[in-house]
């Protein structure tokens, strides 16, 4: 039971403060409902249409959603007029796919209370992220961009040189993407060239993106969820992401919260805060993915918005630490966190393990079996249906039919229950 979400009391009473949510495509319903339960009024703004059914939620098409035109001054005036009788205090970007315009809107509507639109590319283009990390003397992944203006011959030369330099141990992915779409681990140089010629590289929610070649970093993969306000950062949760790499693609198996002690003497909080500073994150929620090789951390990507998967990661955080990203954001808005200080995960008396398991490509029959099974599991905590489908050969996050959060003080119980659930996936 998600006690933090269901029983949160409103601290504001009738004097509601209004928060703008611009394109809340990731965990949007969770974000909106949690803000409302904490006493905020919410106004949704949509700057682009949602072409992918995975990110499309009914509330994005409600009559009271404000639709922008792309004219900055006109859109700001429209938003101000639509909310003039309400107490508009702040806003959040809901997806990296429209961050260029979201940053402009929010910095215009809330001067000095949002991130600099001049540095937007640092927060959604993977190549720009790596360049910024290198400039700030942080570990960076060797990266080559196959730019649109390059001739095919120049691209082939760049591929060949980089492939040899890395001993063939590389990955290929778009400069910006969602849910691991477009990610490949090529088995040969020819496979890269073939991928360049045949793939459209059009990512969900994104326009045509340039391709990147990156040295493959070996190690354990982790995530971190943070909140930033006026340059101060709060680390809400850290977890490990277990993945399988098969046939050149990546498949996420589960995500599990971990304590900072999992990194031994490495100061993971200091690293995450340094990444946020290097990418000029001063305000908003962030989901960060990185790899730890035992000595250093390497940023995979930063997503400048709430953690995705329909609120699953924040549900785990609320269960383990009593607070999620939205609770911490509320604390910043109300001044309950001391200004000028930096914060890490507070120790919790709750020693239970929290793990989110992914079930892929469930048809309606298998979904019903999964729901029945979940209700019988000893570690059952929360589950949610995302979408149903027939069997598929792909296992990107957009193929997840259902997530199941397991929680127990005995990790062996969680392992046992997870194995039972994964038997129901068409591909596992």
pTM score, whole prediction: 0.90
> Which residue is it, tokens 């999620």?
324
Query: For residues 400 and 386, is the Cβ–Cβ distance under 8 A?
Result: yes
In three-state secondary structure terms, 173 is strand
Mean pLDDT of 228-248: 87
Rounded CA-CA distance 209/177 in Å is 8
Most confident of 67-81, 178-192, 349-363, 391-405: 67-81
Mode of pairing for the β-strands spanning 249-257 and 232-246: antiparallel
Please state the CATH superfamily assignment of the domain spanning residues 220-422 in this structure.
Answer: ATP-grasp fold, B domain (3.30.470.20)
Q: Average pLDDT, stretch 265-274? A: 90
Domain boundaries, given as residue ranges, for the chain: 3-114, 142-215, 220-422
The phi and psi torsions of 35 (rounded to 5 degrees) equal -60, -40
Based on the number of CB atoms within 10 Å of its own CB, is 366 exposed (0-12), middle (13-18) or buried (19 or more)? Answer: buried
CATH of domain 142-215: 3.30.1490.20
- What is residue 9's predicted lDDT score, i.e. its pLDDT? 41
Tokens of 271: 């690293």
Name the maximum alpha-carbon separation found in the chain.
65
Q: Could you tell me if residue 294 is left (phi over 0), alpha (psi between -120 and 50 degrees) or otherwise beta?
A: left
Instruction: Please indicate whether residue 340 or residue 352 has the higher confidence score (pLDDT).
Output: 352
- In CATH, the number for domain 3-114 is 3.40.50
Q: What tens digit of pLDDT does each residue of 52-86 get? A: 555 667 888 888 999 999 999 999 999 999 999 99
Contact in structure between 106 and 305 (CB atoms under 8 Å): no
DSSP 371: H
What is the average pLDDT score of the chain? Answer: 86
| H/E segment holding residue 33 | helix 28-37
Rounded to the nearest angstrom, the gap between the alpha carbon of residue 408 and the centroid of all alpha carbons in its chain is 25
- Asked if 18 contacts 42 with a C-beta cutoff of 8 angstroms, the reply is yes
Residues of the chain with pLDDT > 70, as a percent, come to 84
| Least confident interval from 38-52, 157-171, 384-398 | 384-398
Supply the DSSP symbol for 217: P
Annotate 254-315 with DSSP letters as a single string. Answer: EEEE--GGGGTT--HHHHHHHHHHHTT--SEEEEEEEEE-SS-EEEEEEESSS--TTTHHHH
Rounded distance between C-alpha atoms, residue 248 and residue 164, angstroms: 19
- 291: β partners: 221, 298
Residue 93 near residue 83 (C-beta atoms within 8 A): no
């Amino acid at each position: 039971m998600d006690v933090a979400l269901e029983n949160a009391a409103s601290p504001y009473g009738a004097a509601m403060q209004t928060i703008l949510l611009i394109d809340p495509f990731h965990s949007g319903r969770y974000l909106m409902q949690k803000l409302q339960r904490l006493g905020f009024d919410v106004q949704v703004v949509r700057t682009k249409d949602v072409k992918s059914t995975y990110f499309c939620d009914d509330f994005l098409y409600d009559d009271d959603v404000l639709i922008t035109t792309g004219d900055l001054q006109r859109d700001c005036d429209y938003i101000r007029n639509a909310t003039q009788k309400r107490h508009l205090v702040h806003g959040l970007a809901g997806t990296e796919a429209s961050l260029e315009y979201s940053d402009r809107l929010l910095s215009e509507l809330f001067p000095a209370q949002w991130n600099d639109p001049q540095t937007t590319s640092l927060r959604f283009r993977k190549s720009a992220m790596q360049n910024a990390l290198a400039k700030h003397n942080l570990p960076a992944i060797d990266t080559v961009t196959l730019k649109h203006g390059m001739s095919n011959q120049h691209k082939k030369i760049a591929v060949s040189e980089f492939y040899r330099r890395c001993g063939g141990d590389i990955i290929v992915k778009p400069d910006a993407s969602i849910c691991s779409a477009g990610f490949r681990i090529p088995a040969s140089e020819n496979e890269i060239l073939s991928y360049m010629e045949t793939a459209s590289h059009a990512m969900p929610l994104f326009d045509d993106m340039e391709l990147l070649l990156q040295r493959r970093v070996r190690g354990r993969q982790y995530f971190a969820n943070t909140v930033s306000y006026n340059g101060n950062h709060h680390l809400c949760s850290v977890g490990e992401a277990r993945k399988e790499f098969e046939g050149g693609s990546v498949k996420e198996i589960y995500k599990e919260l971990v304590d900072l002690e999992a990194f031994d003497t490495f100061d993971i909080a200091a690293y995450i805060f340094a990444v946020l500073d290097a990418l000029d994150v001063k305000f908003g929620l962030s989901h960060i993915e990185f790899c730890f090789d035992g000595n250093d951390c390497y940023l995979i990507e930063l997503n400048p918005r709430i953690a995705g998967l329909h609120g699953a990661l924040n549900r785990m955080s609320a269960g383990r630490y009593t607070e999620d990203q939205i609770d911490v954001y509320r604390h910043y808005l109300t001044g309950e966190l001391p200004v000028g200080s930096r914060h890490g995960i507070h120790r919790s008396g709750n020693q239970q393990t929290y793990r989110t398991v992914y079930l892929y490509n469930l048809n309606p029959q298998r979904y019903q079996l999964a729901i029945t099974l979940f209700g019988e599991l000893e570690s059952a905590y929360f589950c949610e249906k995302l979408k149903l489908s027939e069997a598929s050969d792909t296992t990107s996050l957009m193929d997840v039919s259902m997530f199941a959060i397991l929680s127990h003080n005995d990790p062996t119980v969680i392992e046992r229950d997870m194995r039972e659930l994964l038997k129901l996936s068409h591909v596992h």
